[in-house]
Every structure is written in structure tokens, then in C-alpha cells.
Structure 1
Amino acid sequence: MAVRNYTIGMAGHIDHGKTSLTRALTGIDTDRLKEEKERNISIELGFAPLKIDEELHASIIDVPGHERFIRQMIAGVAGIDLVILVIAADEGVMPQTKEHVEILSFLGIEKGIIAISKIDRVDEEMIELVKEDIRDNLKGTVFEKSPIVFVDSLSMKGIDKLKQLIKEQLKHQETRDARGPFRLPIDQVFTIQGQGTVVRGTIYEGTVTKGDTLQVLPKGIPVKVRQIQVHHEQVEEARAGQRAALNLGGISKHEIVRGDVLVSSSHFLVTDTIDIAVRFVNDLSAPIKQRVPVKLHIGTTEVMGKIVFFDRNELLQEEKEIVCQIRLDHPIVCKRGDRFILRRPTPMETIGGGWIIDPKGRKYRFGEETVKMLLAKKEGTPVERITSILKEKALLSFHDLLKYSSLDEEELKTLLEGEQKETIFQLPSGEYALIENLETIKRLTGEKLAQYHEQYPMRLGFNKAELTHLLLDLYPKRLIEFVIEKLVETGFLKKVEQYIHLSTFTPHFPEKWKRRMESALTSIENDEIEVQPFDHYVKSAGIPDSYKEDFKHFLLQSNLAVLLAENLVVSMKAIEKAAALLKRNTGVEFTVKDAKDVLGLTRKYLIPLLELFDALKLTKRVEDKRIWL
């Protein structure tokens, strides 16, 4: 059964026992890791693995300080599936507890467990008071109906119950999407002597495999994955929801910074203007004025920008989610739906959070029309939502569309039937894809083949499996293969065995070397059966050695020549001439001696030639004679 990977966040006030609880659950002291694992390619300091059972594996984020809490919780947006809110029995809910809960709400975290720690320090009466305090302070938050567990990390009281609660909470939790393009926001960059650059982070989506070529955005630097580790163990691949350390080739430590994003596809946008839906804290210390500088925390990125309102010039109190824009000082990598936190740079405080409506915002006019447009973009019509989902997921079943769109079954059926001729296509498998994606695959296939034909004009075509692999970063294999087969059916492409080529393409000599190759072919034809080794003709004609194999295969595939013996290539004209001469001068059958008398060849050429006649079905050997067919 496939392993499901999750990330658990430890939230709570300083000194309420988050590190001790992490140690009790995992056996790992995350503070100790800071010293001991500094030089290893390992999961980020403060992370510890928790194997719940054979199916459920988790990483626990233990974040001791407020500032690190904000960065790591945002960095874990793609990985934090469950939060354990740690509240000490001897202190109860503290200011930082409330702030952490507010941040979790902004980040859209939905599952939580409340762990009342240090219970051996207090009596039953105090525990009841703490429970009442928690329920009062957490009313209206994600933790309002969360289960409560009483623990003591030193005596291990309640630890088994907490593990069971974790299992129950995660049992029905969806795992992150490992099918789409790979994305990993980088937490940390360092070097290891003899191994080079290493980056660490939580995989937001997709899968990475050893040997993959990726890009570091926003700079667009290509890199190669030399090595992968998940919780100190070398692995061949890592998937969405896992913490991973990647050893990268082709880049130095100084070219990467925390906040850069490692991706497998150009699917991800680099942008400096984002349209957002944001909710602000209830007790702002001062008004947020139009174009005031704010710090945006998204992924592992912290970037300054200016907030732009379209329906007000300042905000002091607003309970509802509003739509606005942030214009950033530096570009970031993001997509629709990504969560963020906004903080005021001075005094440093959290002011709100929300999600990205459109990662590629533009400059808009101040006024009601822009607000309406942003609200429409935020909500989206059912058709727009389905289109957006299929743009991201590429190929989905009806069941998956139902799940992602939040439409009811009849509404979705009606929508798909109405849109099938315009925007949506149903494959024979029953899955759905956008017609524009089919067209994009056609265009990309045409472009890849045109490039291939230009680079290798003598080859019959591109191996279908390799061509499909080139597009796997963008689209599912089933969709690519379906489009290629359709393009063959419609005549846009031609398929010969496992090779694909444009129907307008015919293998030919490269223009630059055409005369030399024609000269080499003429020399082969002139030497008839008694040819020199093939290398001789290549060198004599001045053909680069890099073209030798393609030249040979072209002659053989186009039936201009045949392989007589190893490295002996004979023109088909010479074979036909020798066969005609031999047939005219022999009867229904002939011997090797007869052939030697007619053709005047030595055994070096004669025996392979006669065996070639057999292979070409010109003759058939019967004992020591051959019969013409």
C-alpha cells in the first residue's frame, strides 16, 4: 500500500513544551539536531520524522520562536495538514498562543489537536480551569471543536493517546498532489565539501527523482538533482508533502537564496503584482494606509511590497475578507490559491493574511468597477472554475472534477455537456481535458519534432517514449499519448514502428554535408560488392565522425544500402546488379563455386553476399546449393 506523507505543525507559546513534546513523540531532540546535523544533507533543523504506521508517515515542525514560527508555518502551507496547539497546564492561553491561532486561520489550516502539556505540575482543579480558559479563548477559531489531550513529555503520560488522535485526524486527510509539476520553496541553502550545493524544503506538489533536471526560479537557473534525502535516508524520489534535501549540480550556493523555488516546469509564474483576497486582524494597532509598505510571507519568501486598495484609502477595522493588490519590490513564484501572511515592518506585527486570486495582476483603476472585477475573479463562474481546475490538473475524471469544483453532480454534468464542443474534451477513458491543452500539446509536439528533424535530419523520427517524456512535466502521460495517437490518425504525424515524425518530413542529408555524403555514397556504389570498411568512406569524404552512425542508419533505413558484414556497407544497386548477373548465368540452382566463377569475388565478400541473398529472400539454401526463389 502506498505511503501517505503529512506534515504536523507544533504551535504555541514559548516554553510551553513544544520541543519536549516533539521529542516524546519521535525520540528526536530537535534542538540537538542543530549541533549534530549541521554538516549532513538532512531535513531542516527543527523537523523530526514520525512514523505513525506503515501507511502514514509525518514530519513534525518544532518551531521554538515567534519569528521562525511565522516563516515555517507559511513554508509548510503545502505540507501542514494538522496542527498540535501546545498549551501549558500551569499557564494556560498566552498572547503568543492567540497570535499563532490567528496565523493558522489565515493560512487555511483546518485540522487541529489541543495538547495540554506539563500536567504533572498541576492538580485536577487547575486542569479544569485551563480547559475552560482554552474553550473561551478559542471560540470561533479552527480549534473551537478540536479534541483535547492531556500530556506530560517527561513521564510520557498521554503520548500514546496523542499518537492515536494524530492517526484519526490524518486518516481521512487528503495527501498533496504528487501528479502535477514539482514545486519546492527553498528553506535553506548550504554546501558540503565534495558534494556541492544542497537545498532543503517542503515539497508543495509533484514528485522529484534523482537525475531530474529542474529550474531555480525566479532566476531561471537549470540544475540537476544529484542526490535526494528524506529524514537522513537516501531515496530515489521524494513526493508532495515530504521534507527533502536535494544535492544540486550546475549551481553554486551563492546563486540560490532562501525563498527561491525549485520547479520542474514553466507552468509556474514569476510575478511582482498579485491580486489577493485578504482578511485583517481584529485589533490593528494603527490604520493601514493606501500604498503603505508591508512584508509579504509566502512559501519561504519574505518580500516587501505596497498594498493597493481600490475602494478605500485606509483600513482600520474590517471583519470581512476584502479584495486588493500587492505590488512587490522583487518577483516571487506563486499560483492561484497560495496562502500568505502580511506583516507590518515597523512595528513588526502580523496584520492579516489570505490567498492569491490571480498571480499575474495588472495595474487597475481605483473604483467600484475594479472591485467588482476582482470579486468576480475571486468567485469565478462554474465554467471558469472548471477551466481553472483543468488548466492546473490537465486531466481529471468526473469524480475528481466534482471534488475540486464543489459543484453538485447534475450541475457539473450539464456544464460538461454544454462546454464539450467549445472548451472541454472528453477522452475515450472518460476523463476530461481542455481543448486548449490538446492544442498546446499538438503545438509543443510539432515544435519538438521540428527541432529534432532539424538537429537529426537523417533519422527516421523521434522515439515516441522519449517524445512523451519531454512533455511529462506539463501534462499527464495518458493525455500526451492520446493526442499523439490522434495526430497520427489525422495525418499530422506519421508513425513508423516506435518512431514519430511530422508528416511533412522526409529523412535527408543535412544541407551542410550533403555533397560530401553524396560523394561517399557514390564511392560505395562505384566499389560495388568489394567495398572498403565504412569508416574509410566517411573519412575520405571529410564527413565529421559525429555524423557517421546517423549516415550509416540513413543509408540502411532508406534502402540505399545494406549491411554486408560488420562495417561493410554495400549499395543496393550493387546487390541488385550482382543478383541479376548471377541469375542470368546460372540455372534454377547454383553452388558457391558457380557464384565465384560468375562474380569473381573472394570468399571474404562472396559468402556474406550469398547469405544476404538468402536473407533478402532472393535465394534459399538447400544443402550445398542455393535455389532461386
Structure 2
Amino acid sequence: MKHLIIGTAGHVDHGKTALIRALTGQDTDRLPEEKARGISIDLGFAQFRLPSGRRASIIDVPGHERFIRNMLAGITGIDLVLLVVAADEGVMPQTREHLDILQLLGIKQGVVVLTKVDLVDAELLDLVREDVAAAVKGTFLEGAPVVPVSSVTGEGLDRLVQIVDGLLEVTEPKDVTSFARMPVDQAFVRPGFGTVVRGTLVSGRIRTGDRLELLPQGLEVRVRGLQVHGEKVEVAEAGQRVGVNLSGVERAEVRRGDVLAEPGVLRPTDTFAGRLHLLASVPRPLRHGARVHLHTGASEVTGRVLLLDRDELEPGDSAFIQFRSEAPLVVGRGDRFIIRSYSPVHTIGGGGVIEPHARYRRHHAPHLEELRAKETGGRTGVIAETLARRGPVPLAEAELARLIGAPADVLAPDLRALEEAGEILALEGGYWVHRRGYAAFVEAARSALEAFYRQWPLRPGLPKEELRRKAVPQADARAFAAVLGRAVAAGELVLDRDRVLLPGREVRLTPAQESLARSLEAAVRAAGFSPPSVAELRDRFPDALTEELILHLQEEGRVVRLPGDLILHADHLREARERTRQFLRTHPTLTVADFRDLLGTTRKYALPILDHFDTQRWTRRTGDERVAGPLL
């Protein structure tokens, strides 16, 4: 079943609360001050049962200009609006401001309700109709139904109900498959239950027992119970007004504007990028750096509007902006926002969030181009741009989902479509990289290897960790392994044990180098089980390439480097291993003295060879003795 939210809007004392009472039988003015003053001050809520069997929630918002901030806290997430205009007064200042807000928030459909028709004659009603038609011209309400009603006599109410029911029939339902997200517009303590928060669930589902996150505080909370219009439920879905009983948080820790969400999907920001539309009615341009009030979801913060491609924004125009908030803010891609001048406070514009976590430079063409792509490309465009911006550093699918603000299973079809189009590449371990980022990695790796070969012509390749630091230092080990694995599978790089090589790489010695290498190997072989150190070999063969040739002999497996930089011939190492194997077949343990005598050497050399045995798991140390290891 679709769950729908109806919102009201209009000037103070134009009969919004009376209309809801006439439609639902419920009084949405709950505060003593509201009763005393006869006007709505804060948000009110009622359940609306329609002839089709649908049940919608109605949000009653205050119309007085002093309480616009309260109106903004409740209007987000509505599916249809009832713009209320009193027939005895016509369009008034807050009518226009509310209409501007609805337009800026991207509301798609609504009904104009002319209330108090029992107080006017037909001629005045026609004048009000003309007044309304002029006010809504060019907005989403142009051509919308205009329904005269009286909340006192009941005139027109049945027709209004039928029109609303018909419009809701074709209303697109909210996404219950996305992650759970509910802006909090009310919080209180219920005796015997503890902290309760209320709001409109704008996406996903919440179940009793769920663990959620309260943002921007980052508090983990658990759902103890759920209510929808006073009825206890086990599951609440997007499009419903929900009361959530929480454990893990005190009432004092919750504020209007907080967001209850699935853990790990959203994170607070202090700077987001978006497109801002400045109302044509604003008397002067908006200057770069202007301080404003910003409303999004149920929250209000102050901050500064940074214009990214100009110094002033003219009335009626739009531009890319970066909003720098003075307090932590929780927004997702595509969220709508309203800005109001700092003082005096009036609505001056609004728009949509393009990048929730932004650090863009002003007048920087690549950044502006990126914002255009993210604005027009839909979710696939956002995915592609997010990966492209990472360059050669792959993103894990879970992290990509968090940055996009959608669950991984929702992103899956978009990722596959982009992969089939060749725009992005899937890597091992659930990582993704843009095709340009992958090409940049291969180029960086080749450049690093070529520079390495120029410096060390006798070495076959770079250790993996060293290549990571040179080619993609921002990538962690798993991300690097994922993109390296793709390059190896494609034949663009070669992995040899823990070293990365360019394809076809072969180390070829000159005759002089080959002669020196043979001499070094012969010296090591002649030393037997009393291996020389690298320093001793340098002294004996004072050539600039001596140490490089020792490394070359190591790479070819002709010599082995032991602890203490001792160089042992591979044949002697194999002989020592075989002698040890034979000894441990008839002896339970092997001491250093036994090993020394077995090789006919001294303790100075026996210990490093034994340490190497331990490293290779040929032996295992127990106290001062060795026993046979699993690989002996």
C-alpha cells in the first residue's frame, strides 16, 4: 500500500486548521498557546481516511511569518499540498512566501482550496479566483484544481476529498527499498517508555528492534517500538508519519533537525555543493559569502553561500554554490533546501544538493564541469563522476554506496550498466574503478617501474608495497591489490612473488658483469658454512656493482641472504637442510651446538643459518632447542 503525506500551506488565519478538522474530525492545534491565540504555532498532524481506502497523513503548518521556520521543518517529504486561501481576503504575503517555498522544494502537485466561502458572495469569489490564478501562474499549481469550501457548512468538502483521492491515485510512492531515513521534527519523553521521536519517514523501512544512527551526533540507538498515528506497528514504511521509541539516547541529546538513519550510510558535513535558485522577487543580488539561514529536512542552520562561478547572483537566476555551514548538517544527494536572508529574515531562494561533502574551488573549470555532470547524469552519472574523481584509487562498493547515499543492492543495476558500457571496471574484492582511473594507475605503475629500472638496471622489479607508495599512495593495501590484480590479469603488469615487473622484463648482464657475478658466486661457494658478509665481499671485490650483483644472484636463487647480511650459497643451504632432516629423524631436538658440529662451523655462523631455518619453517624453536618444522 502506498503511504502518502499531504501538506497544507497558506497565510495565517486562512482556515488551514479548521479545514483539517472538517476533513478528518481531528484538531491539530495541541499547544495551550495555540488554543489561547487561535493560531497554529507549531506543526500539527492528522490521519486522513479517503474513500478509496487509502490513509494519508496531513501536516498542518503555521501560517504566521514568525513561524515560517516551523513550517519548513514539516513541509519536506509531502506528496501533495493544499494551498489554502481565504475567500474573504485573497492572496496574502505568507501565501506568496509559502508558494515560493513549495516551488523551490520541488513539490509536483497540489490543490488550491478557497476557504470561508460562506462569508463571501459570488462576485468576490470570482475576484479571488482571478487573484489566485495570477499568483500561481508559472508555478506547479498553474492549472491545478481550485476548490471553494466552507469548513463551517461543509460546502465543497466532498468534491475536495474526491479530487485529493484521485491525485493520490497517480502519485509516485516513496522508495521503501532504499535506506531508512527520517528527519526528526518532534522529540519528547513518554513516561514508562523513554525517548520518543517523530517525523516523516522519507525512505526505506524501520522495524522494531532495528539498530539505527542518530545524526549528526553519531549515536547508535535501538528501536524499542513504533507507532503510526497512535497505532502500534512492527514495521513503518516511507511515506508514513512515525513515532519511534528509542533506547540508547536521552531526550536532551535529541534536537529538531536531527536525522534517524540506517547506520553508516549518511555522515555529517559542514560543506555541501548544489545549485541555488534566487527568487526573482528578491530586491537585490546575492553576494558571494553572504550569511544566510538554511533549511533542509527538519533542520535549520546558519552559514555562508559561496558562489563558485561568479561574485553575485542576480534575482531570478541560478548558479552552482558551496554552502559552508556553521554547524554539522546531514544532507544527501538530491535533497532540497531553502535559504532565507540572515536579517531581516525572508525566503530568498532554494535548490538541490549535488555533492553532500564538497571542497570545490571557485572559478575552477574542472570542478564546475564535474558538478554539471553530477547534476544532469542521474545516479549513474553520479557514480561515474565519484569514481572518476578518485582517479587511480579504487573504491569498495560499500564505501561507494555510502558516498552516493544509496544501499549497495540499489546501486547494483547502475554499476552493471556502467560496467557493460565500459565506463567503470569491477575489481576483485568488491572494488570499482573508473576506466580513466585504471588507465592512470597502469601509466603510473609503468612510469615507476621504468624509473626504477633506470636506477637499478640489474633488478627485475619493484616490491609491491614500494610500487603502491610510488603509484597510488592514497590507496590502502586491499584497494591496491584489487587494481594490481586487474592489471596482472590483463597482462599489463607481471607479479613475481612479491615483486611487480613490466611484461618481458629480463635482466641481461654484460660480459664484465657476468664475470664478476661468477667470481662472487665462487667466493661464496668456497666459504662453505662460514659465509661472508656483504661488507666482506665488497672489500674483496671493490666494484660499484658488487652489491647489485649479489642481489642479482639472490634473485636467480644462486645465493641466499641470511640475518646479519651473510651470504650463503644455495647449494650449501640445501646441504645444511638435508643434514638437519637426517639428524632430526634420529634425535627429538637439535641444539645450536649440535647444529654447529653438524655443519663443521662456528656458533657465529650456525645461529644465522638456524634463524633462517626458523623463518622458512624448516625448524621450530622451543626454548634453546629446535624441533622439525612443518616444511622441513
Residues 337-388 of structure 1 deviation map (CA, whole Å, 9 limit, x = unaligned):
0000001120111110000000010141445554333223322388525768
CA distance in 2, matches of 1:377, 1:420: 15
Normalising by the residue count of structure 2, what TM-score does the alignment of the two structures yield? 0.60
1:234 to partner: Cα distance? 1.3
Which structure has the higher relative contact order (CA within 8 Å, separation 6+)?
1
Q: Does 1:422 align with 2:425?
A: yes
CA distance in 1, matches of 2:114, 2:285: 36
CA distance in 1, matches of 2:233, 2:192: 19
> Between Structure 1 and Structure 2, whose CA radius of gyration is higher?
2
Residues 411-468 of structure 1 deviation map (CA, whole Å, 9 limit, x = unaligned):
x98x67424983599xxxxxxxx9749xxxxxxxxxxxxxxxxxxxxxxxxxxxxxxx
CA distance in 1, matches of 2:226, 2:52: 21
Q: Does 1:380 align with 2:377?
A: yes
**Residue type at the aligned position of 2:141:** F
1:272-291 counterparts in 2 under 5 A? 272-291=270-289
Counterpart secondary structure, 2:421: helix
Normalising by the residue count of structure 1, what TM-score does the alignment of the two structures yield? 0.60
Counterpart secondary structure, 2:79: strand
Q: Does 1:261 align with 2:264?
A: no
1:102-117 counterparts in 2 under 5 A? 102-117=100-115
Counterpart secondary structure, 1:101: helix
Counterpart secondary structure, 1:146: coil
2:116 pairs with one of 94, 115, 118: 118
Residues 512-569 of structure 1 deviation map (CA, whole Å, 9 limit, x = unaligned):
xxxxxxxxxxxxxxxxxxxxxxxxxxxxxxxxxxxxxxxxxxxxxxxxxxxxxxxxxx
CA distance in 2, matches of 1:75, 1:15: 18
Q: Does 1:359 align with 2:356?
A: yes
Q: Does 1:335 align with 2:335?
A: no
Aligned position for 2:445? none
- CA change 1:285–1:422 in 2 (3 A) is same
Q: Does 1:27 align with 2:30?
A: no
CA distance in 1, matches of 2:111, 2:343: 33
CA distance in 1, matches of 2:34, 2:112: 31
Answer whether contact 2:104 2:350 (CA < 8 A) is retained: yes
Residues 479-516 of structure 1 deviation map (CA, whole Å, 9 limit, x = unaligned):
xxxxxxxxxxxxxxxxxxxxxxxxxxxxxxxxxxxxxx
- CA change 1:68–1:52 in 2 (3 A) is farther
1:31-50 counterparts in 2 under 5 A? 31-32=29-30, 46-50=44-48
CA distance in 2, matches of 1:188, 1:52: 26
1:200 to partner: Cα distance? 1.1
Equivalent pairs, count: 408
1:332 to partner: Cα distance? 1.2
1:395 to partner: Cα distance? 3.8
- CA change 1:100–1:335 in 2 (3 A) is same
CA distance in 1, matches of 2:186, 2:352: 24
1:6 pairs with one of 4, 10, 33: 4
Aligned position for 2:56? 58
Aligned position for 1:138? 136
1:198-597 counterparts in 2 under 5 A? 198-315=196-313, 317-380=314-377, 383-385=380-382, 392=406, 394-395=408-409, 417-419=420-422, 422=425, 436=432
1:69 to partner: Cα distance? 4.4
Answer whether contact 1:281 1:352 (CA < 8 A) is retained: yes
Counterpart secondary structure, 2:268: strand
Answer whether contact 2:278 2:349 (CA < 8 A) is retained: yes
**Residue type at the aligned position of 2:342:** P
1:230 to partner: Cα distance? 1.0
Answer whether contact 1:74 1:341 (CA < 8 A) is retained: no
CA distance in 2, matches of 1:285, 1:36: 34
Aligned position for 1:77? 76
Counterpart secondary structure, 1:31: coil
Aligned position for 1:159? 157
1:303 to partner: Cα distance? 0.8
Answer whether contact 1:33 1:46 (CA < 8 A) is retained: no
Counterpart secondary structure, 1:269: coil
1:70 to partner: Cα distance? 4.5
Identity %: 42
Residues 10-56 of structure 1 deviation map (CA, whole Å, 9 limit, x = unaligned):
1111111111111111111111476999xxxxxx9511110114652
Answer whether contact 1:310 1:368 (CA < 8 A) is retained: no
Answer whether contact 2:179 2:407 (CA < 8 A) is retained: no
Report the RMSD for the aligned CA atoms in angstroms.
3.0
Answer whether contact 2:184 2:298 (CA < 8 A) is retained: yes
Answer whether contact 1:197 1:249 (CA < 8 A) is retained: yes
CA distance in 2, matches of 1:423, 1:205: 28
- CA change 1:116–1:11 in 2 (3 A) is same
Answer whether contact 1:279 1:321 (CA < 8 A) is retained: yes
Residues 265-300 of structure 1 deviation map (CA, whole Å, 9 limit, x = unaligned):
211132111001110111223442221211110111
CA distance in 2, matches of 1:372, 1:292: 24
CA distance in 2, matches of 1:35, 1:16: 18
- CA change 1:368–1:74 in 2 (3 A) is farther
CA distance in 1, matches of 2:197, 2:147: 36
Aligned position for 2:166? 168
Counterpart secondary structure, 1:127: helix
1:119 to partner: Cα distance? 1.0
Answer whether contact 2:43 2:61 (CA < 8 A) is retained: no
The gaps in structure 2 that reach 5 residues or longer are 36-41, 387-399, 434-632
**Residue type at the aligned position of 1:197:** T
1:214 to partner: Cα distance? 1.2
- CA change 1:245–1:53 in 2 (3 A) is same
Aligned position for 2:518? none
1:221 to partner: Cα distance? 0.9
Residues 150-172 of structure 1 deviation map (CA, whole Å, 9 limit, x = unaligned):
10001111111111111111101
CA distance in 1, matches of 2:309, 2:116: 49
1:207 to partner: Cα distance? 0.8
Answer whether contact 1:34 1:45 (CA < 8 A) is retained: no
CA distance in 1, matches of 2:191, 2:424: 58
Answer whether contact 1:75 1:185 (CA < 8 A) is retained: no
1:310 to partner: Cα distance? 2.2
**Residue type at the aligned position of 2:91:** V
Answer whether contact 1:74 1:340 (CA < 8 A) is retained: no
Tell me whether 101-110 or 56-65 shows the greater mean CA deviation: 56-65
1:126 to partner: Cα distance? 1.5
- CA change 1:141–1:249 in 2 (3 A) is same
**Residue type at the aligned position of 1:347:** P
**Residue type at the aligned position of 1:239:** E
Residues 394-417 of structure 1 deviation map (CA, whole Å, 9 limit, x = unaligned):
44699x97xxx9xxxxxx98x674
Answer whether contact 1:89 1:130 (CA < 8 A) is retained: yes
CA distance in 2, matches of 1:155, 1:34: 27
CA distance in 1, matches of 2:218, 2:207: 20
